[in-house]
Every structure is written in structure tokens, then in C-alpha cells.
Amino acid sequence: MCICINCKFVDRCITYHNVEENHGADHISDLPDMEAINPFIHVTVIEEENGLHSTEWDVRSCDSYQEELGKWSSIRPGMELPA
Ligand code: SF4
């Protein structure tokens, strides 16, 4: 699970914006203005049943991380958390 969903900066972060891009997900912010320091992104290649491949991008650690539990959900109430 990506730590960004519980990070205070999820709606300002350029790195998270790029993670959304790679997931093909809607952006939580159209104009992120903050550069994360030393984000470590874990990329998993998944083989789908149809033989195609997809990738899963998760930020696993980041020097800019500041915990704010439920931050992503507070911006998108009622929506399923990104995988
Ligand atoms: S953990 Fe780092 S990469 Fe993720 S939203 Fe926070 S600042 Fe951005």
C-alpha cells in the first residue's frame, strides 16, 4: 500500500501526481506544487489473465512524509482507496 494516502501532502505532491499518472487514476490535485524529498517508489509488474502486463507504483518511504491518517479519504470521501 502506498504511504501517500496517509500523508499530509498528498494533495500537493508532484511525486504522488506522477504515481496517479502511472496508475491511470484521476488526479487528486491538478496543480501539485510540492516536490517530495527522497521518495522510494516500489514498482511491481503484474501479469494479467489476458497475458498483458500492468504496473503497480507504491511509495514505500519518503523523507517528506508527514502522517495525517485518512488524508486521501478526507479529500475523496466515500471513494475506494487506490490500490
Ligand atoms: S509520502 Fe512523499 S511522495 Fe507521498 S504524498 Fe507525501 S510527500 Fe508526496
pLDDT in tens, 23-76: 888 899 999 999 999 999 999 998 988 889 988 899 999 999 999 999 999 999
pLDDT above 80 (res 83): no
Q: Is the CB of 6 under 6 A from ligand 1?
A: no
What is the pLDDT, as a whole number, of residue 55?
Answer: 86
Q: Is the CB of 39 under 6 A from ligand 1?
A: yes
What is the pLDDT, as a whole number, of residue 82?
Answer: 80
Radius of gyration of the chain (CA): 13
Alpha-carbon gap, residue 45 to 57, rounded angstroms: 9
Q: Is the CB of 20 under 6 A from ligand 1?
A: no
Nearest to 20 by CA among 5, 34, 37: 5
Residue pair 60/39 in contact by the 8 Å Cβ criterion: no
* Ligand 1 atom with minimal separation from the 2 CA: 4
Nearest to 4 by CA among 43, 45, 44, 36: 36
- What is the domain partition of the chain in residue ranges? 3-75
Cα of 57 from ligand 1 centre, angstroms: 13
- pTM, rounded to two decimals: 0.89
